[in-house]
Amino acid sequence: MSLLPILRYPDSRLKTMASPVVNIDEKIKRLVKDMAETMYEAPGIGLAATQVNVHKQVIVIDVSEARDQLLVLINPELVECDGSQIGEEGCLSVPGIYDKVERAEHVVVRYLDLDGVTRTIDAHGLLAVCLQHEMDHLKGKVFVDHLSILKQTRIKAKLAKQARITA
Ligand code: GNR
Ligand code: NI
C-alpha cells in the first residue's frame, strides 16, 4: 500500500478526461487500494483517479461516519438525476477552499464494482453530491469551475500565495 501524491488546482492535468477501464486487472486493484488509503489518510470522503494523475474512470468514496463503507466505482455513468441542493464543497485538490455549489439532490449511477459486476447506486444528499463531484473530476472538472470567474481568480491567487509560503 502507498499514499499517492494529489494534484493541486490549477494543475492542467486536472483537466484531463479519464478513459474507461477495459480490464479490472492487478494494476487497477492496486490503484484502488492506494486511492482508498490516500483518501482515508487525507482525510476525504471521495477521491477520483484524475486527482492522483491516473486518467482512468476510477472513484473511491466513503461518506460513512465510521469510515467503514468504502465504495469503489469503475466506469460510472449517470443514468438519472433530479431535484437540486446547495451545499458547501471542498476538494483535496483545492486545499483550504470551501464554497457553495448547486447539485442534483438525487442521482442514479451505474458502474462496475471491483469484480466487474454492474451495479447501480440510488443516492440522495451528501452521497449524491460526492458522486457528482467525483464524476466531474473524471471529466476534467473541479468544483471551482462551477463558481464565478471572479471567485476562480481569487482562489488561484490564494493557492499561489499559500504555495509560496510553504515552499
Ligand atoms: O473530502 C471531500 N469532501 C467533500 C465535501 C463536500 C463536497 C465534496 C467533497 S469531495 C472531497 C474529496 C475530494 O476532493 N474528492 O474529489
Ligand atoms: Ni475533489
| pLDDT tens digits along 86-138 | 999 999 999 999 999 999 999 999 999 999 999 999 999 999 999 999 999 99
Torsion of CA 146, 147, 148, 153, to 10 degrees: -110
- Residue whose CA is at the smallest distance from ligand 1 atom 7: 89
pLDDT cut 90: percent of the chain above it:
96
**Ligand 1 test: best mutation among 40, 91, 101, most atoms within 8 Å of CB?**
91
pTM of the model as a whole: 0.98
Establish whether residue 48 lines the binding site of ligand 1, counting it when its CB lies within 6 angstroms of any ligand atom: yes
Structural domain spans, the chain = 12-166
Answer yes or no: CATH 3.90.45.10 is held by domain 12-166: yes
91 Cβ inside 6 Å of ligand 1: yes
List of residues 6+ apart from 163 with CB closer than 8 A: 8
Mean pLDDT across 149-157:
97
Grid coordinates representing 10 are 490549477
- Closest Cα to atom 6 of ligand 1: 89
Spatial distance between the Cα atoms of 92 and 130, rounded to a whole number of angstroms: 12
> Is 134 an annotated catalytic residue?
yes
- What pLDDT is attached to residue 163? 87
